[in-house]
Amino acid sequence: MAEASEEIKIIESCKKKLIEKFITNPDFFLQELDMHCYLYSELLRSPRFTCQSEMGEISFVHREYPTNLIYAKDKSKIYFPVTHPTRGKQHGKIDLVILDTADPKPNERGFCRIKHGIEIKFEARHDVSYYTKDTKQNIFKNIYQDYRKLTDKENEIRFKHMLYFVKGEVTKFKVLEDIEAHIEAESKSYSGLVDVKLRDIYFTYIEWNPYESARIIRSFE
C-alpha cells in the first residue's frame, strides 16, 4: 500500500497543477482535450511511471485506453455493457490511465491491467441563460458516464479518479450530495457495478466564473 500511496501523492500533485492553471488562467484551455494533454505531460515528468527495457524507455501513462467491457448507449444515452462489439458498440475509453507496473502482461482481451483510471470532463459555457435546472442533470449524466466506466467491476480499475471542470455561471447545488444521489438512482437499473460511492473515489469538482471565487470540492481529504 505504501507504493500506491506514493503514486497517489504524485497524481494528486499533477492534478493540483492542472487545477491551479485552470483557476488562474481559465482561457488557457479551449477544450477538454487540452486538459488531457496538460495532465498527461505532467504525469510523464515523474520517473515513477516510466521504466527502461531492452527496447528503450517504456511509459505506463496512456490516453484513451480501452476498457475490458464493451458499451452501447440506451435511449437516454447512458452507457450499458454488451457482449460483442458491433456498429455503435465498442470498448469504452478511459481518458488517462496508469498501467499496473507490477502486472504489465496483457489479459485475454489484449489489454493491460489499469491501476489508475482518470476521467476528465470540461463544461465551458458563456451564455448565462444556458444554466437552467437541465444543466444540473447534464452535469450529473456526464459524471455518471465516467463513474460507470471506472466502477464496472469487469474493467478491473484499482484506483479511480475524476475531475469535473465547469467554466461559467452555474446553478448552485450540493455537489457531493446531489451527484451521489443521482449515481445511486441510476445504478439501481444496472448490475455489475462495484459498490463504490462517490466519496470512495478521488473525485474533484472545480467551478470557475467571473463573478465569484472559484469552487473546489473534493470527495476525499
- Paired residues of 72 in beta bridges: 80
* pLDDT reading at 28 higher than 90: yes
What does the domain layout of the chain look like in residue ranges? 60-218
* DSSP element (H, E) containing 46: none
pLDDT band at 128 (very low <50, low <70, confident <90, very high): very low
pLDDT band at 129 (very low <50, low <70, confident <90, very high): very low
**Smallest Cα–Cα separation from 61: which of 49, 48, 52?**
49
- Cell, residue 119: 476521467
Answer with the residue of higher pLDDT: 109 or 31.
Answer: 31
Answer with the residue of higher pLDDT: 199 or 193.
Answer: 199
Q: What is the pTM of this model?
A: 0.86
Residue 69: other Cβ atoms inside 10 A:
21
Which residues make Cβ contacts (< 8 Å) with residue 147, sequence separation at least 6?
Answer: 162, 183, 198, 201
Q: What is the mean pLDDT of residues 169-186?
A: 73
Q: What is the mean pLDDT of residues 15-29?
A: 95
**First vs last Cα of the chain: how many Å apart?**
17
Q: What is the mean pLDDT of residues 79-100?
A: 77
Q: For residue 101, what is the DSSP state?
A: T
**Smallest Cα–Cα separation from 117: which of 220, 11, 42?**
11
Predicted pLDDT at 88 = 59
Lowest mean pLDDT, pick from 52-56, 121-125, 157-161, 176-180: 52-56
Alpha carbon distance 36, 43 (integer Å):
11
Which residues make Cβ contacts (< 8 Å) with residue 94, sequence separation at least 6?
Answer: 64, 65, 66, 67, 114, 117, 118, 119, 149, 150, 157
* pLDDT tens track for 48-77: 998 877 777 889 999 999 998 888 776 555
